[in-house]
Structure 1
């Protein structure tokens, strides 16, 4: 990497750029509740070093109340072709105003699977993790099918968040988007969510369902 960095600098390739993407801006329709959800990120920097800001969450479409929302500020360093290590802070605006330290590894796995992994240590000492993977299948030059999967883990029970230990939840989805332009792509989709183990027991004890299927209508846009 040191040799590659010197070559990049010598060729004038370490120019700074800015990028912002809303990977998901979508209405989610489920039996229990309809929601608006977002997942977006922005970065500024060069080929080796970047500053990232990420945010995701959802709000009720019924009363507009934000149910979950988080924001992350991260320093990112390229450590191999297509792979970055990131470190920084995450703050959960909702539901409880909780801060976390973050260490993450993001990149492209073999066969062009985009992978994001992150570990979080909260100010209360709780250790959790999130693993996400997605793939883009070009049906045509404009029509793209995007399967995805996400798993969440916890090293210990967190009763305040209705979270048990171990593998706590898994989600799998399909989004079919049409790129009107590369930067502007509406989509339709379907997503399945399931809580697992003690987490599911905690959720069902409150009268809620630990499993749901969600229909999606959304927009993917970047600048």
Structure 2
């Protein structure tokens, strides 16, 4: 009986010894505990009466008894994996001290580093030095190839290079309109084209336009010979003479322009002074609306004006006549494009009165079929 009593006391003695040890989690792998300030020893609580010899296991007694760990420090669970503790609000921190960064060992008493002068660290706008402006240096007059080739041969080579790049002489012949006009009454035809020869700055230009009626022959025809000079990237000024063959012979001094306006409007204008003192004007414009890479819709407008009434040429002062057209062309090649469209022609003012007097139509609407080509 005494042996059995002694054996039953062994587990109780082991539990008391284990509970008396301090729970130190700092020695666990990955559990770095911050240093705790020294604390005053807490008064030891009074001993509780002995618990009844219940059937409690030694583990339950150890976990529930606060007296078992009188000197244990408070546990900091913020460093345990998965335990995220809200950070307390802190006052505005002073300038960052990089000396505490790993590998940034700062000597004792050293002043904080100023990183604003480091390359790539833009800390805001800074004053730029005032660099004096000077004209560019003149282009070199000597050529490296002159050391190895005769000067005369090099001059010929340079002249040929300039001709091929910017000073080349070229030419072009273009028919803007070459069409048949189907309309009420007698059908008609019309042409409008030009040819030029020269360089990028100076050119000699020939222009011709006219119209007629089938069965009646040519009703109006003119030819212009002009000198054209580029005065801008998109503008040429032209001066020359104009000769009318029908309906009456007239010779005009001509001053005009051709220009490509913003948004690709092609505008032409001219003033004509005849050898009999008659002053006329003309302005026309086109715009290419590309529906596809080869299908182009072109609106066109032309207005003719006069400064006086001339019964001989059947022209009245003011706006004498206007032509509005809409043509759809298909560029089989860039140089060759057949088209179809519609054209509306109307005479105004005194010009319309002259037309009625001679039994001519004041207005006409035509369905047109033609070709636009150049080479």
TM-score exceeds 0.5: yes
Residue 120 of structure 1 corresponds to which residue in structure 2?
272
CA-based RMSD: 1.6
Which structure carries more helix by proportion?
2
2:195 is the counterpart of 1:42? yes
Q: Which structure shows the bigger proportion of residues in strand conformation?
A: 1
Aligned to 1:148: 300
1:60 aligns with 2:207: no
| Residue number in structure 1 paired with 2:332 | 180
Gaps of 5+ in 2: 1-160
- 2:258 is matched with which residue: 89, 103, 106? 106
**Offset, 1:207:** 2.4
Structure 2 counterpart of 1:161, from 301, 307, 313: 313
| Partner Cα distance (1:10, 1:58) in 2 | 40
Structure 1 unaligned regions, length at least 5: 1-7
Alignment-derived partner of residue 5 in structure 1: none
> Which secondary structure does the structure 2 equivalent of 1:54 belong to?
strand
Partner Cα separation in structure 2 for residue 114 and residue 82 of structure 1: 10
Once the two structures are superposed, residues 22-62 of structure 1 have per-residue CA deviations (whole angstroms, 9 ceiling, x without a partner) of: 11111011213211211110001111100000111123222
Moved over 3 A (4+): 8-12
Aligned residues: 215
Query: Match of 1:141, SS?
Result: coil
In structure 2, C-alpha distance between the alignment counterparts of 1:50 and 1:209, rounded to whole Å: 39
The alignment's TM-score, normalised by the length of structure 2, stands at: 0.56
Q: What is the aligned partner in structure 2 of residue 22 from structure 1?
A: 175
Name which one, 1 or 2, has greater alpha-carbon Rg.
Answer: 2
User: 1: CA distance between counterparts of 2:290 and 2:226?
Assistant: 31
